[in-house]
Amino acid sequence: MTVYAIIGGTGLTQLEGLTIRQAQSMDTPYGAPSADIMRGEYAGREVLFLARHGQPHRIPPHQVNYRANLWALKQAGANAILAVNAVGGIHAAMGTGHFCVPHQIIDYTSGRAHTFYEGELEHVTHVDFSHPYDETLRGRLVAALAAEGCAYSGHGVYGCTQGPRLETVAEITRLERDGCDIVGMTGMPEAALARELALPYACLALVVNPAAGKSAALITMAEIERALNEGMGKVKAVLARVLAD
């Protein structure tokens, strides 16, 4: 049976019907993960949860220990990853509250520990990353979004920027020219590390604001938090459908 790990915010531990059995503190060769791994059960299925930014929400995107997070989840028994990401909308279809299940990603980050294959190696390893997201998991997320009646796009290109600042209008223009539909700060190296560990991985992205220059108004944290609060119920419902499948 698939053991799903969900990477996201602390609110996801409150899925209706979820029973938390254990908060598991783990160490890895790459240091400590962002938070304890919450081990629970949903609809008879074992589920793992990890708060990407810690509990409380305190670790900025460029300082998340992505290697420790993915390593710990695999050691805890995860064999599939569902990542929840808050993003900005670039494409006209990606309005606030819209969901996207991306099929591709472009990495604009720098300086992040992005691979397990470094140091004293016996040989060089190249991992195919042509299609960064697992198609089976993507299909399950898309089916769940449709069943819940959510506004969503079943494909999209995620542009991952360094953060923690938001992007300039010129940067978003560049990302749009490159083919990006949404922009976020946590999609990489998380997806690539999952691939190196042979963990099927998919992303459920919730648009929480128009990207820079896509609205006449300035982007505010109040606006983002409001969109997160309004969208979290739908996120939980979608994940519950996938977990119960």
pLDDT digits (tens, 9 = 90+) for 113-165: 999 988 777 888 899 999 999 999 999 999 999 999 999 999 999 999 999 99
Q: What is the CATH number of domain 4-244?
A: 3.40.50.1580
Q: Is the pTM of this model over 0.75?
A: yes
Three-state SS string across 128-177, please?
Answer: CCCCCCCHHHHHHHHHHHHHCCCCEECCCEEEECCCCCCCCHHHHHHHHH
Q: Where are the domains positioned within the chain? A: 4-244
| CA separation for the pair 3, 116 (Å, rounded) | 22
* DSSP conformation class of 28: B
Please tell me whether 210 is known to bind a ligand: yes
Contact (CB, 8 A) for 99 and 234: yes
Please tell me whether 211 is known to bind a ligand: yes
Tokens of 181: 């539909």
Q: What is the pLDDT of residue 68?
A: 98
Residue with tokens 């108004």: 217
Give every CB contact of residue 6 below 8 A, 6+ residues apart in sequence.
12, 47, 48, 49, 50, 81, 82, 83, 84, 239
Q: What is the pLDDT of residue 11?
A: 58
Regions of the chain short of the pLDDT cut 50: none
| CA separation for the pair 43, 25 (Å, rounded) | 24
Q: What is the pLDDT of residue 204?
A: 97
Please tell me whether 10 is known to bind a ligand: yes
Please tell me whether 79 is known to bind a ligand: no
